[in-house]
Each structure stands twice: as C-alpha cells, then as structure tokens.
Amino acid sequence: AGEYIDSLYDGSPILLVSILNGAFVFMADLCREVKVPCEIAFMAAKSYYEGTESSGNVEITMDLKHDISKYHVVVIEDIIDTGLTAKFLIDFINNNFQTKSTKFCSFLDKRIARKTDVKPDYYGFEMDDKFVVGYGLDYEGYFRNLDYIVYKK
C-alpha cells in the first residue's frame, strides 16, 4: 500500500486520514511505508449497529479541522464490511471538503458482505464473511492490541 500511495504523488502533498479507532494500527504501519511527502490526520467515526449489522448510521465524533484543498487525501480504514460506513465517510468528505483527490484504502475487504457499490482504491487482504479482531479491530473495545488477526470459529 505504501507504493500505491507513493504513486499518487504528483507534487501536491498527500494527507493520510486514519479513521479511528480501528485504523490506528494499520495507519502506523502504512505511513512508515510512504516515501513521498505526506501528512497525517485523524477522523473518528462511530457506526451504529442493528444487532451485528451496521445500519449505515454513522456519527462523526472527530472531524478534520484544517483546509485540505491542497492535498491528495487518502482515507485509511480498517475493514470494509457492508460498505455503509465507507460510503457515509466518502460522501461526508466530498460534501464538506475540497481536495485535489480523495482515495480510499482499507486493510481488509469483506467484499462478500457488501451492500453498497463501495470499492476501495486499494486494500490489503480480501477476506470471508467472518468477524475478526486484532491489529486495531475490537470486540466490545478489547483485542485491538493483538498484533495478529483472529476470528472465532
């Protein structure tokens, strides 16, 4: 993914925007692979669930503060499941900010569970429809600190 981000560089700086909390570990690894001039920023989003399904109702609990019009923005997510959260975030950024371009990069892509037409511009791994924890991903707040990904059979 570092090489993908490097390839976006055309002289305008790159802004990596990590979506908290889940993407903080991926962001920390990914930003160290980027060799072109880049800055980092954080947004926090809370997805509301109906049972185990994300409802598409997303609350932005921490927003980008500064003018980002000079940047190629790369939004960094932990996982795209139904895609409802990603769709909300992409629309939110496009409606509220001017950017040079906006790309979407996710560590995991649970494509089989998709309910929207959201496709990441770059993803680390495609996975089955399983609930995973570790490497930033939680279950009720726990397990984000595991340095591997695990699922319950």
* H or E element in which residue 88 lies: helix 84-96
Nearest residue to 147 (alpha-carbon basis) of 18, 28, 20, 41: 28
Known catalytic membership, residue 81: yes
Which residues, numbered 5-64, are part of the site for ligand 5GP (CB under 6 A)?
A: 22, 47, 54
Contacting range for ligand 5GP; rule: CB under 6 A; set: 3-11, 65-73, 74-82, 89-97: 74-82
Q: For strand 101-109 and strand 72-80, is the pairing parallel, antiparallel, or unpaired?
A: parallel
**At residue 151, what is the residue type?**
Y
- Binding letters toward ligand 5GP, positions 88-127, x by CB under 6 A: ----------------------------------------
- If the CB atoms of residues 67 and 117 are measured against ligand 5GP, the closer one turns out to be 117
- Angle subtended at Cα 49 by Cα 95 and Cα 53, rounded to the nearest 5 degrees: 100
Tell me which residues are annotated as active site: 81
